[in-house]
């Protein structure tokens, strides 16, 4: 993966919408924010998107359709505990991608979905552990 793209992942704010308004920010290599810890409990979690496969800009209609398909597949997983809307926002504010913060699925499930939707990686963790960027080899995508 190119260094500029890796740096962009590291500088991104991974925002999770809170039930009572506002959002909590997940950052790579930092513990899960307090507002999200009680939701995550001891479950694995991931911050994923289907937008812009291969980090290449895609038409909004395609992105929305892919995101809906990702949401449906996450909801169908028996291990999914909760799904919250999210937004990945570039450190320099030049781009943002609607995303999902999902509690419950295993790393293998997240890996398969991220690859299916053409993503280079996603952010994940367990409970309050530091968020990690998980990079993946790209397979085919939807």
Which residue stretches of the chain have pLDDT < 70?
Answer: 1, 138-142
Domain for residue 67, yes or no? yes
Domain for residue 115, yes or no? yes
Instruction: Write the pLDDT tens digit of every residue in 1-10.
Output: 578 888 888 8
Domain for residue 141, yes or no? no
pLDDT in the model for residue 15: 98
Number of domains in the chain: 1
Domain for residue 13, yes or no? yes
Domain for residue 10, yes or no? yes
Instruction: Write the pLDDT tens digit of every residue in 68-84.
Output: 999 999 999 999 999 99
pLDDT in the model for residue 140: 47
pLDDT in the model for residue 88: 97
3-class secondary structure, 34: helix
3-class secondary structure, 137: coil
pLDDT in the model for residue 4: 81
The parent domain of residue 42 ranges over 3-135
Domain for residue 65, yes or no? yes
Q: In what order do the strands lie in the sheet with 44-48?
A: 23-26, 13-17, 82-89, 96-103, 44-48, 121-126, 132-135
pTM of the model: 0.92
Pairing of strands 13-17, 82-89: antiparallel
């Amino acid at each position: 993966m190119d260094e500029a793209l890796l740096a962009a992942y590291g500088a991104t704010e991974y925002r999770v919408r809170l039930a009572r308004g506002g959002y909590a920010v997940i950052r790579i290599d930092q513990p899960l924010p307090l507002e999200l810890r009680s939701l995550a409990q001891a479950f694995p979690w991931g911050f994923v998107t289907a937008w812009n496969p291969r980090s290449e800009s895609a038409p909004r209609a395609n992105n929305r359709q892919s995101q809906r398909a990702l949401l449906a597949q996450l909801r169908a997983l028996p291990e999914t505990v909760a799904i919250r809307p999210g937004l990945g926002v570039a450190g320099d504010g030049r781009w943002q991608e609607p995303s999902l913060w999902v509690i419950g699925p295993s790393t293998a499930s997240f890996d398969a979905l991220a690859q299916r939707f053409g993503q280079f990686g996603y952010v994940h963790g367990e409970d309050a552990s530091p968020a990690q960027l998980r990079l993946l080899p790209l397979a085919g995508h939807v």
